[in-house]
Amino acid sequence: MNENSVPDASRTVLTGDDIERVLTRVAFEIIEANKGIEDLVLLGIPRRGFPLAQRLAARIANSADTPIDPATLVGQLDITMYRDDLRHTTTRTPEPTKLPAGGIDDKVVVLVDDVLYSGRTIRAALDALSDWGRPRIVRLAVLVDRGHRELPIRADHVGKNLPTAKSEKVRVHLAEIDGTNEVMIEAAE
């Protein structure tokens, strides 16, 4: 690097292939923790948690002894109106909450999100979840845990622990939304 070069402000920490391997491992962890797939529901938190939940559901359904439709395992939980930062952030468009036909009462619900950071998104998800039913167990699966928790929340299933500085940003790109699959860390400006 010469004296006029500027270091790259972002770096890829998970490629598309890495994400696929991580999701396969997490899917098997979920099956093992649940001792099978009975009464299992995966609820993705919009935006990127939902496609991750769909991918996990497909892997879990493929591993079942008897054929199962992945759509019966997956849903989406909108948390927009439960967030505690609505006054401080840009307006978010609510996404519809979609529950599997069997609902969530007395089910093992795995909340799925892309990045676990302060824990405030998951706190909002727990509040929203209570309005839709009473699960038997609630677990959390995240693609990336970057630390810096502000609330006492811990993920049960983590794709990658990624120590970061608070000033850095973690960007998850998924093909369903962004056209590509990768996780990047962007340095502070």
What letter represents residue 48's amino acid? R
Residue 116: which of 83, 79, 146 has the closest Cα? 146
HSE of 77, CA atoms in CB hemisphere, 13 A = 32
Judged against a pLDDT cut of 60, whether residue 6 lies above it is answered with no
For 74, the token pair is: 């997956």
120-136 pLDDT tens trace? 999 999 999 999 999 99
- The whole-number pLDDT of residue 89 equals 67
Of the listed ranges 2-6, 59-63, 123-127, 165-169, the one predicted with least confidence: 2-6
Domains in the chain: ranges and CATH:
18-163 (3.40.50.2020)
Does residue 96 surpass a pLDDT of 70?
yes
For the chain, helix, strand, coil in percent to 5 are: 30, 25, 45
pLDDT at 48 over 90: yes
Three-state DSSP class for residue 177: helix
Residue 71: both structure tokens together: 């759509």
The helix (run of H) or strand (run of E) holding residue 150 is none
The pLDDT value given to residue 3: 44
* Pick from 6, 7, 10: nearest CA to 170: 10
Q: DSSP string of 17-47?
A: HHHHHHHHHHHHHHHHHHTSSTTEEEEEPTT
* pLDDT tier for residue 66 given thresholds of 50, 70 and 90: confident
pLDDT reported for residue 97: 97
Residue 90 confidence class, pLDDT cut points 50, 70, 90? low
Query: pLDDT tens, 135-144?
Result: 999 999 999 9
pLDDT of residue 133: 97
Q: What is the pLDDT confidence band of residue 8, given thresholds at 50, 70 and 90?
A: low
